[in-house]
Amino acid sequence: MTDPITLLLVDDQELIRFGFRMVLDAEDDLVVIGEAADGHAAIAQATALHPDVVLMDIRMPGLDGIAATEAIVRAHPETRVLVLTTFDLDEYAFGAIRAGASGFLLKDAQRHEMISAIRAVHRGDAALAPRVTRMLLEHVTPQLGTAAAAAPSAVEDPTSELTDRERDVFLEIARGLTNAEIATALFVSESTVKTHVGRVLAKLGARDRIHLVILAHRLGLVPDEELPSGS
């Protein structure tokens, strides 16, 4: 049997943590191994427990979720962070994505949406709707553009090591397609797509699909009209 996904719940409201724990512990493949009420405690718990996924609240007293996310991702790159936010337009949540979080989870999400998001983040997928992906790109592009402009034009294309099929998969990810949609578009099985996604992530040194989308946008490999739409 596959080991369960271990979870750390971070929220300054005890009732929210309690509710999440009840929902998550009911799943055979999910287990809550710790809780924290602020950023400092989250960092300490992540170091002590090494959870697979951290459900991270953003607005907390003391150290907020952005700083905690950055510290956890830097110290424990194998741990994924899923941001808990009240609104999908939350500027703080975008800050957490820039800090290394792997996706958004609205606090009023349905049970199945929460569970699906956790599983997606754990396997390296992004828990972002296409509309949110578009907004994310709009927020991070200025910083990425500055970095790209400062880089020498002769820098080797980081995608040059990809095979033709891996590059196809990379571009479809950048357009916001899921594995199932990529499989349909490229006439291959979903398991084959998963294999290619893993190889693309490894070759490009990306943590997850969010960072692949950002990289494709920064390199200008996908025209703006082909990026995930705002609808």
- Res 145: pLDDT: 43
What digits encode the pLDDT tens for the residues 141-180? Answer: 555 444 444 444 444 678 889 999 999 999 988 877 878 8
- C-beta atoms surrounding 90 within 10 Å: 16
User: Does the domain spanning 5-137 belong to CATH 3.40.50.2300?
Assistant: yes
Strands laid side by side in the 30-36 sheet: 30-36, 5-10, 53-57, 80-85, 103-106
- Res 132: pLDDT: 60
Identity of the amino acid at 95: G
- Res 148: pLDDT: 41
- Annotated domain spans of the chain: 5-137, 156-219
Domains 5-137 and 156-219 share a fold: no
Whole-model pTM?
Answer: 0.72
- Res 90: pLDDT: 61
- Res 13: pLDDT: 93
- β-bridge mates for residue 85, sequence order: 106
- Tell me the CATH class for 156-219: mainly alpha
Spacing of C-alpha 157 from chain mean position:
24
User: Are 127 and 117 a contacting pair, CB within 8 Å?
Assistant: yes
What residue ranges of the chain have pLDDT lower than 70?
Answer: 1, 87-90, 93, 126-156, 222-231
- Res 220: pLDDT: 78
Smallest CA-to-CA distance from 72 within 107, 96, 108, 103 is with 96
- Res 230: pLDDT: 42
Q: Which residue has the tokens 């893993």?
A: 198
